[in-house]
Structure 1
Amino acid sequence: MTTSDIAASPALTGVIPPVVTPLTPDGEVDVASLVRLVDHLVEGGVDALFTLGSSSEVAYLTDAQREVVLDTVVGHVGGQVPVLAGVIDMTTPRVLAHVRVAVAAGVSGLVATAPFYTRTHPAEIRTHFRAVAAGGGVPLYAYDLPVSVHTKLSADLLIELAAEGVLAGVKDSSGDDGGLRQVILRREGSFSVLTGSEVTVDSALWMGADGVVPGLGNVDPQGYVNLVRSASLGDWEAARREQERLVRLFEIVHVGGTRMGGSSSGLGAFKAALHLRGIIDHPATALPQVPLNDEETARIGKHLAAAGLL
């Protein structure tokens, strides 16, 4: 697929959850639970799946575990919905190694951040995305995640690379609503703009975003599908009500409080909720994350019950 073909690909829209990676208590990928999770998401009506993103604990997985996740999800989905693969790593050569594995697994698209750990210039970030796109031959989506990557992808850079056919879209997890709006206003063609914020989806859709990549969508995919459907029908009051219900449910990510890091609390909450709902066998997270205790898990259960999910 050439860059012109990629640029002409249909826009990615709707609900694209970043698929959690269930683990066994000894830290291996729980394939049976992952298959059940995929079924839960597809049956919930999602439009695509994003494997090996932040909510997938990609930073904690070995290369072999990444490959197990890809083979399991792509093989089980069997083309029912597109499957995107995060090829997230520190530098271009490492990302290109992940690209080769993901493309061989049969993914529909790739998701990459800017390089990190090393200090980069916008010229180097452009070169990075161009190399990844050329190495993949499938649509490439930029992941704007400055809280972890320490680089904000500017609207100028995204629009330039979109015009070249390098980027097919962006997942914006920057929290910069003004920047998001600039990209929406300036984009052309089928460039997809997806919000990564679970709690402001209705406002992003109202601005013209194409969809959402919600970690909480693992727990309640149908809720996000309902929200996006209401917005597409112009029923903004229904969209607001569903968004507010999801905002209340999103409080689960804070149950860990200050005794652990934000990733431990958030990812632990998603897994605890999926475990309580009977979708995955274990709520285990990868080392060195701090596990939730019984009292925190019980609080998650109360949030699920209040949201009508238990």
Structure 2
Amino acid sequence: MSLPTPLTGVVPPVCTPLTPDNEVDTASLARLVDHLVEGGVDGLFVLGSSSEAAYLPDRHRRTVVDTVVRHVAGQLPVLAGAIDMTALRVLDHATAARAAGADGIVVTAPFYTRTHPAEIARHYQVVAERAGLPLFAYDLPVSVHSKLGADLVLELAERSVLAGLKDSSGDEGGLRKVLLGRTREGLDSFTVLTGSELTVDSAFAMGADGVVPGLGNVDPHGYVRLARLCRAGDWQGARAEQDRLTALFGIVDVGDPTRIGPSSSGLGAFKAALHLRGVIDCPVTADPQLPLTEDEVLRIGKHLAAAGLL
């Protein structure tokens, strides 16, 4: 299917269910897609941070894209992360995404290497010229150590290098600059999506087109309600729904930081919640992440019950 311009609404970054031996659980992945579609989401984003893309070998990445595109069968647009250190490596992932039938790709700035803003621009230009799919920039400075400045994003949008932006920088001022620049330059077809689960109402109020919420795996209906309330201008209702989701987001903090890292805690929480809700068979996260304890999972269950999800 062709991507709407701009792409709007709720586009969750789909978790990657795994078997106990770290293979992709395609049956659980298909059920998760059904869970999201039934929740009313507007698109799907596979192979992002919440998908554990950084932990997956290339064969797993291909399996994920193939499974989701085939299962969704054109009901919704599917964006695929083509995330790697430099442009030529990104293009290998883009080729696989295009072959699987993805509708667009999502790409970070280069990482591991030290780059100049001109080289970041060149990175996106090279990928856009050769990928054969609409290209979304993924602003994720906490992981790639390069912030995509508003001026650079808007310049690439004006040159039709970028179809959109997924802003997971946490820089609300920077997001506003992009949105103001989009209006000023008449870039109406350029998609701007926030990656923050906790400030969706604020992002919509600023003019964002949608949200890519990792927590949307657990509660897609909640984020769809929130987006609809924002579009309707019911800001009081939106705030109440945002507050409920913010409380639910507390599941990502149940992991003991003296024992496991934030990735193990956050991604483990999403998967534990999906397992408790009966969506996926196994809550295991990819090696070398460490599992949550039984007590931590019980605490996640209490969060779910408080949010009306159990």
- 1:61 Cα deviation after fit: 0.4
Distance 2:281 2:249 in 1: 22
- 1:145 Cα deviation after fit: 0.2
SS in 1 for 2:224: helix
Cα deviation, 1:137-189, whole Å, max 9, x if unaligned, reads: 22110000000000000001000000000101101010101000000000122
Q: Could you tell me which of 64, 67, 75 is aligned with 2:62? A: 67
Question: Deviation above 6 Å: which 4+ runs of structure 1?
Answer: none
TM alignment of 1:1-310, pairs within 5 A: 10-187=5-182, 188-258=187-257, 259-310=259-310
Q: Which AA in structure 2 matches 1:31?
A: T
- 1:131 Cα deviation after fit: 1.1
Q: CA RMSD in A?
A: 1.0
Distance 1:197 1:74 in 2: 25
Distance 1:80 1:136 in 2: 23
Q: Which AA in structure 1 matches 2:94?
A: V
- 1:271 Cα deviation after fit: 0.1
State the number of aligned residues: 304
- 1:261 Cα deviation after fit: 0.7
Cα deviation, 1:256-287, whole Å, max 9, x if unaligned, reads: 03121111000000000000000000000011
- 1:133 Cα deviation after fit: 1.0
Distance 1:261 1:79 in 2: 37
SS in 2 for 1:194: strand
Distance 1:18 1:81 in 2: 13
SS in 1 for 2:79: strand
- 1:84 Cα deviation after fit: 0.3
Distance 2:58 2:289 in 1: 19
SS in 1 for 2:105: strand
SS in 2 for 1:184: helix
SS in 2 for 1:131: helix
Q: Which AA in structure 2 matches 1:247?
A: T
Cα deviation, 1:228-265, whole Å, max 9, x if unaligned, reads: 00010110111000000000000000000312111100
SS in 2 for 1:178: helix
Give 5+ residue unaligned stretches, structure 1: none
SS in 2 for 1:50: strand
Distance 1:271 1:189 in 2: 36
Give 5+ residue unaligned stretches, structure 2: none
SS in 1 for 2:18: coil
Distance 1:266 1:16 in 2: 19
Distance 1:170 1:23 in 2: 29
Distance 2:275 2:250 in 1: 17
Distance 2:5 2:131 in 1: 18
- 1:111 Cα deviation after fit: 0.1
Cα deviation, 1:95-133, whole Å, max 9, x if unaligned, reads: 010010000101011000000000001111111101111
Distance 1:83 1:135 in 2: 19
Q: Percentage identity across aligned positions?
A: 70
